[in-house]
Amino acid sequence: MESGGDSNNQKIIEAIEGSSARLGNVLERMMETLTEMRRESTANAERLEGRNGERESNGSDGLRNERRRRGSRSGREETFERWADGIHEEDRPRGYEGEESEPQRSPLHRRPYGRREREERRRREEDDDRVSDRHDRIRKPKIDFPTFGGGDPYEWLDRVEQYFLVYEIPREEKVTLASYHLEGRANRWWRWLRNLYAREENPLGWTEFMDEFLKQWGPSPTINHHGQLAKLKQEGKVHDYIDQFRQLQTMVEGWSEEALLGTFVVGLKPWLSKEIKLKQPTKLQEAMRMAEIMDQNTFHDRRPTKESSNHKDSKPLPMKPQKSATTTSKPPQNEVRKLNREELQEYIKKGLCFKCGNKWEKGHQCKPGQSFAIHLVSSEDEADTSATSSSEDSTFDEEDEATRSAHENAEVSLHALSGVQRPSTMRMMAWIGRHEVSLLVDNGSSHNFINPDALRRIGLKGVAIEPFDVKITSGDRLQCQSIVKDVRLNVQGVRIMADLHVLQLVGLDVVLGNAWLRSISKVITDYKTMTMEFKVGTKKKLWTALHPKEVRPCEANLLERLCRGGALCLAVVMANQGGAAGGPQPQPSEDMSNLPLQVRRLLEAHQKVLEQPTHLPPQRSFDHPIRLKDESKPINVPPYRYAHFQKGEIERQVEEMMKQGLIRPSTSPFSSPVLLVRKKDGSWRFCTDYRALNEATIKDRFPIPTVDKMLDELHGARYFTRLDLRAGYHQIRMKEEDIHKTAFRTHSGHYEYLVMPFGLCNAPSTFQAAMNKVFKLHLRKFVIVFFDDILVYSKSKEEHMKHLDQVLSILEEHNFYIKPSKCAFMQEELEYLGHIVSGQGVMVDPRKIEAMTDWPLPKDISALRGFLGLTGYYRRFVRDYGLIAKPLTNMLKKDGFEWTPTAKQAFEELKRAMTQTPVLALPNFSQPFEVYMDASNEGIGAVLAQNKRPLAYISKALGPQKKAWSTYAREMLAVVHVVKIWRPYLLGRRFTIVTDQQALRHLLTQKIVTPYQQKFLVKLLGFEYDIIYQPGKENKVADALSRKEGSPVLDATLEDKVSPDIEPCESIPTTYTYNRVAW
pLDDT of 575 above 60: no
pLDDT in tens, 713-767: 787 889 999 998 888 888 999 999 999 999 999 888 899 999 999 889 888 889 8
Predicted pLDDT at 310? 42
Partners of 437 in beta bridges: 430
How far is the C-alpha of 154 from the C-alpha of 162, rounded, in Å?
12
pLDDT of 576 above 50: no
High-pLDDT (> 90) share of the chain, %: 7
Region 271-290: what's the mean pLDDT? 85
Burial category of 694 from C-beta neighbours within 10 Å (exposed 0-12, middle 13-18, buried 19 and up): buried
Which range among 313-317, 525-529, 542-546, 973-977 shows the weakest confidence by mean pLDDT?
313-317
Predicted pLDDT at 412? 66
**537: CB partners within 8 A, 6+ apart:** none
Predicted pLDDT at 573? 47
More confident residue, 469 or 771: 771
How far is the C-alpha of 786 from the C-alpha of 784, rounded, in Å?
7
Compute the mean pLDDT over every residue in the chain, rounded to the nearest whole number. Answer: 71
Query: Which helix (DSSP H) or strand (DSSP E) does residue 1036 occupy?
Result: helix 1036-1042
Longest CA span, the chain = 160
Burial category of 416 from C-beta neighbours within 10 Å (exposed 0-12, middle 13-18, buried 19 and up): buried
Region 860-872: what's the mean pLDDT? 80
pTM over 0.75: no
**1005: CB partners within 8 A, 6+ apart:** 691, 1072, 1074, 1079
Region 12-17: what's the mean pLDDT? 74
pLDDT in tens, 346-394: 766 677 776 666 776 655 666 544 433 333 333 333 333 333 333 333 3
**Of 119, 89, 121, 120, nearest in space to 105 by CA:** 121
- From start to end of 870-986, where are the E strands? 930-935, 939-946, 949-958
Which range among 80-84, 112-116, 571-575, 749-753 shows the weakest confidence by mean pLDDT?
571-575
Predicted pLDDT at 554? 54
770 CB neighbour count, 10 Å cutoff: 23
Predicted pLDDT at 446? 82
pLDDT in tens, 136-185: 555 666 778 888 887 778 888 888 888 888 888 888 888 888 888 898 88
Domain 845-849+920-1079 fold: Nucleotidyltransferase; domain 5 (3.30.420)
pLDDT of 1019 above 80: no
pLDDT of 532 above 60: yes
How far is the C-alpha of 915 from the C-alpha of 844, rounded, in Å?
11
Structure letter (DSSP) for residue 409: T
> 809 pLDDT band (50/70/90 cuts)?
very high
More confident residue, 302 or 150: 150
Predicted pLDDT at 130? 56
- Are 648 and 676 in contact by the 8 Å Cβ rule? The answer is no
Q: Does domain 644-844 have CATH number 3.30.70.270?
A: yes
> 669 pLDDT band (50/70/90 cuts)?
very high
Query: Which helix (DSSP H) or strand (DSSP E) does residue 691 occupy?
Result: helix 691-695
How far is the C-alpha of 69 from the C-alpha of 98, rounded, in Å?
12
More confident residue, 845 or 820: 820
> 550 pLDDT band (50/70/90 cuts)?
very low
Highest averaged pLDDT of the listed ranges 42-51, 556-565, 688-697: 688-697
Region 279-304: what's the mean pLDDT? 74
> 530 pLDDT band (50/70/90 cuts)?
confident
Partners of 931 in beta bridges: 944, 993
> 397 pLDDT band (50/70/90 cuts)?
very low
pLDDT of 455 above 60: yes
In a 3-state reduction of DSSP, which class is residue 542? strand
Could you give the C-alpha distances from 708 to 675, 713, 775, in angstroms and in order?
36, 9, 19
Region 858-877: what's the mean pLDDT? 75
**Of 979, 1054, 986, nearest in space to 1020 by CA:** 979
Amino acid at 697: T
pLDDT in tens, 810-829: 999 898 999 888 888 998 88
- Are 752 and 744 in contact by the 8 Å Cβ rule? The answer is yes
- Could you give the count of Cα atoms lying within 13 Å of 66 in the half-sphere of its Cβ? 24
Chain centroid to CA 620: how far? Answer: 6
Query: Which helix (DSSP H) or strand (DSSP E) does residue 525 occupy?
Result: strand 524-526
pLDDT in tens, 932-954: 888 887 778 888 888 877 777 77
How far is the C-alpha of 38 from the C-alpha of 113, rounded, in Å?
9
Cα(first)–Cα(last) distance of the chain, in Å? 95
- Are 719 and 827 in contact by the 8 Å Cβ rule? The answer is yes
How far is the C-alpha of 1010 from the C-alpha of 1064, rounded, in Å?
9
In a 3-state reduction of DSSP, which class is residue 435? strand
- Are 792 and 606 in contact by the 8 Å Cβ rule? The answer is no
Q: Which long-range contacts (CB under 8 A, 24 or more apart) does 833-836 make?
A: 833/707, 833/710, 833/711, 833/786, 833/789, 833/984, 834/707, 834/952, 834/981, 834/982, 834/984, 834/985, 835/707, 835/711
pLDDT of 13 above 50: yes
Helix segments in 99-237, DSSP class H: 115-136, 153-167, 171-180, 185-200, 206-217, 225-231
**59: CB partners within 8 A, 6+ apart:** 135, 168
pLDDT of 626 above 90: yes
How far is the C-alpha of 826 from the C-alpha of 824, rounded, in Å?
7
How far is the C-alpha of 403 from the C-alpha of 470, rounded, in Å?
14
- Could you give the count of Cα atoms lying within 13 Å of 704 in the half-sphere of its Cβ? 22
* 701-702-706 Cα angle (round to 5): 110
Predicted pLDDT at 734? 94
Region 205-217: what's the mean pLDDT? 84
pLDDT of 109 above 70: no
pLDDT of 792 above 90: yes
How far is the C-alpha of 964 from the C-alpha of 972, rounded, in Å?
14
Which range among 101-110, 453-462, 891-900 shows the weakest confidence by mean pLDDT?
101-110
Predicted pLDDT at 427? 83
Predicted pLDDT at 733? 93
Burial category of 1076 from C-beta neighbours within 10 Å (exposed 0-12, middle 13-18, buried 19 and up): exposed
**Of 704, 693, 713, 758, nearest in space to 1020 by CA:** 758
In a 3-state reduction of DSSP, which class is residue 665? strand
- Are 1042 and 703 in contact by the 8 Å Cβ rule? The answer is no
How far is the C-alpha of 26 from the C-alpha of 234, rounded, in Å?
81
Q: Does domain 410-564 have CATH number 3.30.465.10?
A: no
947 backbone φψ class: left, alpha, beta (φ>0; ψ -120 to 50): left
